[in-house]
Structure 1
Amino acid sequence: MTEHETRSEVAGPVGGATADDEDARLADFGYTQRLDRSIGPLASFAIGFATISATTAVFTGFGAGFTSAGGPFVWTLLIAGAVFAVWTMIAADLAAKIPLAGYSYQWTSRINGPDLGWFTGSIAVVGWICGMTCVGYIFAGYLAGLFGLAPTQTTQILIAIGIVALCALINIYGVRFATMVNNTGVALELVLTVLGTLVVAVVAFSAPDRHQPLSVLFTPGGSGEQASYALAWLAAALGPFFGLIGVESSADVAEETKRSRHVVPRAMMYALGASIVVELLMYSVYVLAIRDEAAVLANSSAPIETIIDQQLGPVATKIVVAIALTNILACLLANMLVATRLVYSMSRDNMLPFSATWRRVSPRTLTPTAAVVGLASLSTLMLLSALVNEEAFTYIIGIASLAFFAVYTLQTVGLLIGVRKGTIPAAEPGTFDLGRLRLPLYLLALAVFLTVAGALVVLPEFAGNGWVFLGVVVACALWWATGLRARLRTGEAGAGYSGRHTP
C-alpha cells in the first residue's frame, strides 16, 4: 500500500457522493449500510439531550454541589457550559466531516490512524459502560424511594440490574422503538419536569418565609472553610461538568440519521443550549426553595425530593419524582444506545476481542443485538461487584467521568497532530466548518480538558480514581500489544477491514 493510499484510507473519502446521499457517503468510507437510517432531526436532538439529561444531572449533582459550596455552586454551570460549548463546536465540525457510528474511535482513527483510535475508543467504551451503570443505580434509588422500599444498597443494585435489562430489551427491539421511547422521555422532561420546577418556584415565592433570599446564590456556604472556599467551589463545579457529558452522543448514531452531516451538528448545539437553560433553572429554583437546609443536607442522596416535599408535600413529591424517573430512564436508554454503536463500529473494523460476535446485526430489527447484550452484561457485573465491595461503586462513578475527559483529551491531541499533518478532511459545501477557529479552539480545549482530568485525579474527593484508571489503560495496552498490533500489521483490522471482508 502506498503512502498516498494509506493517507486516503485514514482521512476518509475525498468525494464521490452527492450532498444528501448518506449511504453512498458511507460506502466511500468503506462500509455497507446495515443499520436502520430512520432518525430525524427531533430524534437526533432527543438522543443528545437525553444522554446529558438535565434532570439526571440535577437530581444527582445537586447534593454534592450544595454540600461542598452552598448556593453559589449554581454558577459553576456557566463555566461548564462554556467548556462544553468549545467541545460541541469541535465535535460538530468532525461530525459533518466523518459521519460514522462510534465517533470517539472513528474520528481519531481516520485522522491519526488505528493505534490512537484504539486507545480513544476503548477508553470511551469503559466510560459509557460505567456511565450507564451509574444512571441505572441512581434510577433504582429514586424508584425504591417512590415505592417505599428500604433504601439499602442491595435493594438498589438489584433494581438497577432489572432496569438495565429493560433498557437492553428496548434497544434490542429496534432503534425506531428505542428513539420513540427516548423522545417520549425527553418530551416529558422538557414539559412536565420544567413545569414541576416552575410550580415549586411559584409556591416557594408565594410567601417570604417559604424561600431563601436571592443573596444565597452569591453567599459562600457548604463544608468549605472560608480560606479554602475556592477549592470547595471548584470541587462543586465537577457536578455540573459531569451533567453536560455526552452532548456529542448524537454523532454515535450518525449512520442511523437521515442527512446526518447537516442534522447531527445542529442537534449537538441545540441539546447543549437546552440543557444549560433547563439545568440552570432547576439548580437555581431548588436552592432558593430550600426551607430546612439541615434536612436537605441530611438527605444528600436525594436532596431534590426533600426540597419538593418541603414545598408541595409528599403526594406532589411522588408525582414529580415519578415524572423525573422517566427522564432518567431515557438517559439510561440513550447511553446504552450510543455505547452499543461504538462497540459495533470498533468490532466492524475487527479492533475488539471477539469482534465477529459484537458486530452482528439482527436482519429483522437492524440492531447490533450482541453488542447490546454484551454491554448490559458488563454493566450488570459492575453492579454486582458493588455487592461484594461497597467502595466499588464509588470507583465506577469516578472512572465514568475521568474516562470521558481522557477521551476528549486524546481526541484533541490527535486533532492537533492532524492539523500539522493535514489529515483532517476538508469541509463539504453547506456543512458546519470551524475554519480559522480550528487551531485556537483545539489549544483552548486541550488546556481545559487536561485541567479537569487532572482535578479528577488530584482532588481529595476523587482519590484512587487515578490508579483504577491506570489499570484500565494497562488493560487496553495489553490487548493492543498482544493481539491488535498483529491484526493491524496484516490488514486484519482497521479502517479497510470491513471493505475486504463480507459481513
Structure 2
Amino acid sequence: MGDDSASTTARPGSEDDRLLSEFGYRQELPRVLRFWTNWALGFAFISPIVGLYTVVALGAQTAGPAWVWVLPIVVLGQLLVALVYAHLARRWPLAGGIYQWSRRLIGPAYGWWAGWIYMWALVLTLSTVAYGGGFFLGQLLGWEEPSTAESVLLGLIVMAIFTAVNAAGLHLLRWVVNIGIACELIASIGIAVVLISLFRVQPVSTLTDTSATPDGVAFFPAFIAALAIGGWVILGFDACGSVAEETREPRRQVPRAIVVSLITVGAVDILAAVALVLAHPDIGAVVSGQSADPVSEAVVAGLGEWAAKPFLVVVVVAFIACGIAVQATGVRVVYSFARDGMLPLSRVWRRVSTRNQAPVYAVALVAILSALAFVYANALSVLVAFATGAYYVGFLAPVAALLYLRLRGRWRDPDGRRGLGKIGVIVNVVAVAWLVFELVNIAWPRDLGLPWWQTYAFLLGLGCFGTVGLVYFFATRPDRRFVEESVSMGEAPPPASAEQQSASTATNVGGTQE
C-alpha cells in the first residue's frame, strides 16, 4: 500500500503518457499503481481462499487425497502462460489485456471474438464469486440454510459492495484489495503452518495414497479429471495486465506482477491444500462426500470452535477482495472494448468520470450483467462450468496468435529481437498445448450422474453466447467500425524520434508486426 504515490495521474508529458499516445490513446484513467498494488490485484483475483477452498471437497471426491498433486502441475502449466503474457504486456501495456493483445496480433475481427468470450467469462466469474461470497456472508450472519431468494439477496448485497468500491475509483479499490490480501495471506499461510506443525492427524503417506479414490475408480483417469478442477483454481493473473494503463512504468512493472502473482498464489495454494488434507480428522468422509465443508472442519478440529467465526470473517473478506478484482478486470475489458467501438452504446461504456477518473458506466454494466445471472441461481453450476471453459478460450486466444506469428517469422520485440528466440518458441508451444489440454479437459462431458444440461454446460454456454455474438457481429461488423471510429485508429500519434517510430511500427492492426 505504501509504494503508491498520492498523486492521481502521471505527470503531463511523462514517458508513460507518451507510450500510450503512440498506441493511439490518451491517458484517461489515473496512473497511480506501482508493482505492489498491481501484484495485489492479480493475487486477489486468483485468491487462495476463494479458488482453493471452494474446490477442496470436489478435488478429493474426484481423485482422493492425492488430488493435491494436480496443483504443482497446474501452477507449472499456468506459469508458461504467464511468461507469454508477461512478454505481451511488455509489448502492449494496455487496458483490456487479452483483448488488446489478440486484436493487435491478428486483427480486429479476431480481437473482437477474443474480447467477447473473455468479457462473458469475467461477467459470469463475478456472478459466481458474488453468489459464493453471499453464502459465506449468510453463514457469518447465522443463515445456515438460506432459501434461494435469501441466497440471491445475499449475493446482491455482496455485488453491491464490489460495485461501490469500483465506482468510487482506484484509490479506494487499492486500499480495500491490499487490506483484503493482507488478511488472506496471514490467514492462509498462518493457518496452514499451524495445522501442519501442531494439528496434523493424517500420516504424510496420505498425500500419495492413490488407492483412496472414491468408489475405487482407477487413479489415472480420476487424476486427469482432477486436473480440470485444478485449472479452476489458478486463474486471474491476467488481471495485472488489464490495469496496465493505471500502472506506472508498465513495461517493467506489469510483466513482473503477472509472474509473481501466479507464483505466490500457487505456493500458498499448495501449502494450504497439503495442510487441509493432513489436518482433517476424517479424510474418508471428505472423499465420500459426507463432509459438507472440509475446510472449516479441519480448521475447527485443529484450532477449536472459537476459530469458526474469525475464519468466516477472513473468508468473507477474501471473497470481497476477489470480487472487487474480478469486477475491476471486467470493467477494464469493457472500457477497452468500448473505446475501440466494439460494443453497442460504446460511447456510454467508455466514458470516464471526471470526478474520480473511474469508468463508472462500465462498472454499472458489468454489475448488472453479473447480477442478472442470479435469476438462474438454480443453474449456477452450469454458468460456472461455462465461465471456466470460456476463460481458457480467452486465455488461449493471444497465446495461439503469438505462436502463429512466431512460426511464420513475423514477430519481433520492440527492440528488434525475435522474442527470446528458440526458448520463446518452446515456451509458447508448450503453453498452447497446456491450454488446449485444459480446455478439452474442462469441457469434456464426463458421466457424473448429473442432468445432461450440466454435463454439456460448456458446449451449451458456448453455443448460446456464441450465437448472440454471431448475430451482433454480422449485423453490425464492429471490426470494420473499429477502423473508422475508434480512438486508436482515428488519431495520429504524436511526433516521435526515429527510434520511437521504429518501435511503434508493430502496433499496426492485422498481424503485420515489423
TM-score (norm 1): 0.89
Q: In structure 1, what is the Cα distance between the partners aligned to 2:488 and 2:216?
A: 54
CA displacement, residues 100-153 of structure 1 (integer Å, 9 cap, x when unaligned): 000111001111110000000110001101111111111111221222203234
What is the CA deviation profile of residues 77-104 of structure 1, one whole-angstrom value per residue up to 9, with x for unaligned ones? 0110111110010000000010000011
Say if 1:223 and 1:72 are closer, same or farther in 2 by CA, change over 3 A. Answer: closer
CA change 1:456–1:285 in 2 (3 A) is same
Q: Which moved more, 1:420-429 or 1:477-486?
A: 420-429
1:370 corresponding residue in structure 2? 361
1:457 aligns with 443
Structure 2 residue aligned with 1:195? 190
* Residue 99, structure 1, aligned to residue 93, structure 2: yes
With over 3 angstroms needed to count, the CA separation of the structure-2 counterparts of 1:132 and 1:497, relative to structure 1, is farther
- Cα contact 1:90–1:434 (8 A) shared by 2: no
Tell me the equivalent position of 1:445: 431
Residue 147 of structure 1 is matched in structure 2 by: 141
Q: Which residue is 2:403 aligned to? A: 416
Instruction: Indicate if the aligned counterparts of 2:68 and 2:270 stay in contact, CA closer than 8 A.
Output: yes
What do you get for the CA RMSD once the two structures are aligned? 2.4
1:122–1:476: 8 Å Cα contact kept in structure 2? yes
- The letter of the residue matching 1:455 is N
Q: 1:112 aligns with which of 106, 112, 131?
A: 106
Letter matched to residue 270 of structure 1: V
Instruction: Tell me which moved more, 228-237 or 460-469.
Output: 460-469
Larger displacement relative to structure 2 (72-81 or 447-456): 447-456
Q: 1:499 to 1:185 in 2, by over 3 A?
A: farther
1:313 maps to what in 2?
304
SS in 1 for 2:485: coil
Of the three residues 215, 232, 241, the one matched with 2:231 is: 241
Q: 2:176 aligns with which of 171, 175, 181?
A: 181
Cα pair 2:108 2:482 within 8 Å, conserved: no
Structure 2 counterpart of 1:427, from 400, 406, 414:
414
* 1:133 corresponding residue in structure 2: 127
> In the alignment, is the contact (CA less than 8 A) between 2:482 and 2:489 conserved in 1?
no
Other structure's SS at 1:68 match? helix
Secondary structure in 2 aligned to 1:491? helix
- Pairing 1:281–2:271 present: yes
Alignment of 1:351-430 (within 5 A): 351-386=342-377, 390=378, 392-420=379-407, 424-428=411-415
The answer to whether the 8 Å contact 2:81/2:399 transfers is no
Higher mean displacement: 479-488 or 20-29:
479-488
Tell me, yes or no, if the aligned pair for 1:105 and 1:346 is still in contact at 8 Å: yes
Compute the displacement of 1:294 (Å). Answer: 5.4
Mapped pair 1:51 → 2:45: yes
What is the CA–CA distance in structure 2 between the aligned matches of 1:279 and 1:497, rounded to whole Å?
46
Using the TM superposition, name which of 71-80 and 132-141 deviates more: 132-141
Aligned pair partner of 2:245 in 241, 249, 255? 255
Question: What code does the residue aligned with 2:425 have?
Answer: L
The alpha-carbon distance between structure 1 residues 447 and 145, as it changes in their structure 2 partners (threshold 3 A), is same
Aligned residue identity for 2:384:
I
Aligned equivalents of 2:479, 2:397: Cα separation in 1: 23
Deviation of residue 225 (structure 1)? 4.7
**Match for residue 19 of structure 2?**
25
What residue number does 2:218 align with? Answer: 228
Q: CA deviation at 1:228?
A: 2.8
Structure 1 position 222, deviation (Å): 5.4
Q: Quote the offset at 1:201 in angstroms.
A: 2.7
Cα–Cα, structure 1 residues 175 and 416, in superposed 2: closer, same or farther, change >3 Å? same
Distance across 1 between alignment mates of 2:63 and 2:248: 44
Decide which moves more: 133-142 or 255-264: 133-142
C-alpha distance in 2 between matches for 1:336 and 1:453: 23
Closer, same or farther in 2 for the Cα pair 1:59/1:495, shift >3 Å? same
Is the Cα contact below 8 Å between 2:383 and 2:461 reproduced in 1?
Answer: no
Separation (CA, whole Å) in 1 of partners of 2:418 and 2:233: 25
Contact 1:172/1:369, CA 8 A, preserved across alignment: yes
2:108 partner letter? P
1:47 CA displacement: 0.6
Q: Does 1:156 align with 2:151?
A: yes
Q: State the alpha-carbon separation in 2 of the partners of residues 49 and 163 from structure 1.
A: 20
Structure 1 residue 168, shift from structure 2 partner: 0.4
Letter in 2 for 1:164: M
Q: Deviations over 1:239-287 (max 9, x none)?
A: 3221111112100000000001000111111111111110011000000
- 1:343 aligned residue: 334
Q: Go from structure 1 to structure 2 and tell me whether the alpha carbon gap of 1:325 and 1:252 turns closer, same or farther (over 3 Å shift).
A: same
Look up the match of 2:473: 480
Contact 1:286-1:307 within 8 A present in 2 as well: yes
Q: 1:221 and 1:355, CA in 2 relative to 1: closer, same or farther beyond 3 A?
A: farther
Distance 1:92 1:343 in 2: 21
Check whether the contact 2:91–2:413 (CA below 8 A) recurs between aligned residues. Answer: yes
Cα deviation, 1:308-364, whole Å, max 9, x if unaligned, reads: 122222221221221122122111110001110010001000001111111010001
Q: Deviations over 1:419-469 (max 9, x none)?
A: 25555452349x996443222222212222111111122241562121221
2:294 paired with 1:303: yes
- Give secondary structure in 1 for the equivalent of 2:54: helix
Output the CA distance in 2 between the equivalents of 1:402 and 1:352.
23
> Structure 1 residues 324 and 227, CA, compared in 2 at 3 Å: closer, same or farther?
closer
Equivalent residues of 2:483, 2:489 under 8 A apart: no
Change (3 A) 1:345 1:214: same
Which residue of the partner structure matches residue 8 of structure 2? none
Amino acid in the other structure paired with 2:117: I
2:254 is aligned, of 260, 264, 289, to 264
CA contact (8 A) 2:50 2:319 kept: yes
User: What displacement does 1:401 show?
Assistant: 0.7
**Counterparts in 2 of 1:122 and 1:67: CA distance versus 1, 3 Å:** same
State whether residues 105 and 342 of structure 1, in contact with CA within 8 Å, keep that contact through their aligned partners in structure 2: yes
- Kindly tell me: are residues 435 and 43 of structure 1, through their superposed partners in 2, closer, same or farther at Cα, counting changes over 3 Å? farther
2:462 matches 1:469: yes
- Cα distance, 1:203 vs structure 2: 3.4
User: Which amino acid letter does the alignment assign opposite residue 74 of structure 2?
Assistant: A
Give the 3 Å change call, closer, same or farther, for CA 422–56 of structure 1 in structure 2: same
Q: Is the 8 A contact 2:277 2:283 kept in 1?
A: no
1:499 to 1:362, Cα distance in 2 relative to 1, 3 A = farther
Aligned residue identity for 1:27:
S
Q: Tell me the equivalent position of 1:219.
A: 209
Q: From the superposition, tell whether residues 497 and 226 of structure 1 become closer, same or farther in structure 2 (CA, over 3 Å).
A: farther
CA–CA distance in structure 2, aligned partners of residues 113 and 106 of structure 1: 10
Give the number of equivalent residue pairs: 473
Question: Between the two proteins, what is the percent identity of the paired residues?
Answer: 27
- In the superposition, relative to structure 1, how do residues 34 and 20 fare at CA in structure 2: closer, same or farther (>3 Å)? closer
